[in-house]
Structure 1
């Protein structure tokens, strides 16, 4: 081997250190557990809890009060048996999961990555080449900051989608019960209101 192969020029050494610098910077990017949201729209309030409206049944055939009570009871029991759901036995207040704030793509992670990369690039270089390496570090840091910001935003969006699916799935048994109850009462001559 020649001396040139063992001691490459400064510009080649810099590009050989670039992957090492990139790996070092990727270890510096950590998602915070909670970050306040500052945007033009401000914090969004959590969605309101939607409670089911009561079901009203109006007799269309002049049924007396005692028949109405018996029909309601029998239809309730039948609907509970058919759907394996008894809304009268469910807790009054359902426990809600944590509210997930909307994703923020404000560029703060990009700026932080660029600043960190510039500082590291200047710190690992000789004083003569600190400016060049700071620029290269800033470029890599910008790239890694953008990746961190986008991956965090996508994770938040996926968590929101899972939360919405879970909320929709939790309403299915009650909706099925209400349909069964309505069908039974309509079959016995009541109008649903």
Structure 2
């Protein structure tokens, strides 16, 4: 297996996990009992508002949904799309024959170039999928926070 591909995938996973934790860290809100509610009443209200916010937003920050499972693009052991090298070799052979009258050298260059391009495309696709999952998680957390704040403010608390 291509070690560079594995390293990139590992780094991308770490970034995704860090982003999820960052969402949780920025979601901190402060609740002030503006009408003199007791600490016990505040705990009860916060628990009820959490439940209501989860129902309204379909997002539970204590149990966030897993990232959507997407079928990874089929790849070879080197991280390329199957057939990329063969297609590149065919193109390279044509160009090599026309330009330098050497189809063999053109095929070799074309195969290497196509495999490199295939790896870059596969990596970019994986990153886009991870970014979309992070954005979806952030949107769910934002909706939850809005619903929770609305509930608590309706019960006489100041939420910041």
TM-score range, shorter chain: 0.5 to 0.7
Deviations 1:8-37 (A, max 9, x none): xxxxxxxxxxxxxxxxxxxxxxxxx42337
Distance 1:136 1:77, change over 3 A: closer
- The CA RMSD over aligned residues, in Å, is 3.8
Deviations 1:131-183 (A, max 9, x none): x87x4421232123212211221121111111221232234333322221011
In structure 2, which of residues 26, 39, 45 is the aligned counterpart of residue 71 of structure 1?
45
In structure 1, which of residues 161, 166, 176 is the aligned counterpart of residue 128 of structure 2?
161
Aligned mates of 2:147, 2:109 — CA distance in 1? 58
Q: Which has the higher contact order (CA 8 A, sep 6+)?
A: 2
Aligned mates of 1:69, 1:161 — CA distance in 2? 40
Runs of 5+ consecutive residues of structure 2 not aligned to the other structure: 70-87, 93-99
2:29 is aligned to: 55
Larger Rg: 1
Residues matched between the structures, number: 125
SS of the residue corresponding to residue 87 of structure 1 reads coil
1:44 Cα offset (Å): 5.8
In structure 2, which of residues 136, 142, 146 is the aligned counterpart of residue 179 of structure 1?
146
Question: What TM-score do the two structures reach when normalised by structure 1?
Answer: 0.49
1:73 Cα offset (Å): 2.4
Distance 1:35 1:73, change over 3 A: closer
SS of the residue corresponding to residue 161 of structure 1 reads helix
Question: What TM-score do the two structures reach when normalised by structure 2?
Answer: 0.57
In structure 2, which of residues 109, 119, 129 is the aligned counterpart of residue 152 of structure 1?
119
